[in-house]
């Protein structure tokens, strides 16, 4: 199993390619679907699914373009579908230039406990609203009972970063929901768990323990 990270777009969003046995999942396609498709083609992989940790434009703007080149379902939480309709206008507002990217199609809505499989692995959905109402984290697990690891991996989107947490000052954000989600992450996983965030470098829950304390206040 391999995890590759690409820092894409003006906001340097982390797009993750996770692949095993020639099957690949894309987490947060960011702004450049054509680039992602080229990387998948170079590696000779089969795209199983595109997953968004939430609906903000910098995480999903390239999804429609990627689907046009390599058809695959696009997964997002239903609570963020309102953000998908406005991705081009949102990108224009924040980046001050025009966008006409195709919107995602073949949309499938995520919910707590869903599992999306590829190769000998799966990604389990954990609902973590706060930064956005449809924010989710994705837990990587092996579906092969003979493959075990003491270290868990979770893709945290914009909920938890290396040295930061997600913004909660948007009109649809919720500080209290984010606190609940942060507590949920720390209660569910060990301190050795590696978190791959939506921006910046990976971290461990041990290194972000101060945010658990913040969430418990």
Helices (H) and strands (E) in the chain, counts: 7, 14
Average pLDDT on 67-91 reads 97
67 contacts 108 by C-beta, under 8 angstroms: no
Q: How many domains does the chain have?
A: 1
Range of the domain at 67: 2-215
- The answer to whether residue 46 scores a pLDDT higher than 80 is yes
Average pLDDT on 53-62 reads 98
pLDDT for res 150? 57
Q: Write down the pTM of the prediction.
A: 0.95
CATH code of 13's domain: 3.60.15.10
How far apart are the two ends of the chain, measured CA to CA in Å? Answer: 39
DSSP-derived secondary structure letter, 205: T
Residue 25 CA neighbour count, 13 Å, CB half: 24
Q: What distance in Å separates the CA atoms of residue 85 and residue 22, rounded to the nearest whole number?
A: 32
Average pLDDT on 193-201 reads 98
DSSP-derived secondary structure letter, 43: T
């Amino acid at each position: 199993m391999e995890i590759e990270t690409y820092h894409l777009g003006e906001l340097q969003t982390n797009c993750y390619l996770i692949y095993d046995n020639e099957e690949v999942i894309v987490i947060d396609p960011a702004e450049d679907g054509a680039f992602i498709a080229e990387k998948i083609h170079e590696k000779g992989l089969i795209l199983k699914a595109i997953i968004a940790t939430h609906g903000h434009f910098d995480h999903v703007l390239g999804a429609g373009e990627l689907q046009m080149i390599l058809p695959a379902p696009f997964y997002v939480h239903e609570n963020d579908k309102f953000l998908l309709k406005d991705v081009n206008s949102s990108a224009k507002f924040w980046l001050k230039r025009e966008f006409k990217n195709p919107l995602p199609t073949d949309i499938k809505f995520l919910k707590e406990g869903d599992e999306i499989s590829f190769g000998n692995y799966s990604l389990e959905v954990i609902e973590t609203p706060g930064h956005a109402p449809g924010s989710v984290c994705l837990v990587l697990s092996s579906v092969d009972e003979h493959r075990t690891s003491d270290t868990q991996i979770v893709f945290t989107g914009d909920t938890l970063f290396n040295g930061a947490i997600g913004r909660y000052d948007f009109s649809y954000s919720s500080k209290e929901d984010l606190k609940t989600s942060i507590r949920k992450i720390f209660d569910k996983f060990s301190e050795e768990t590696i978190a791959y965030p939506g921006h910046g470098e990976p971290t461990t829950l041990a290194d972000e323990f101060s945010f658990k304390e913040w969430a418990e206040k």
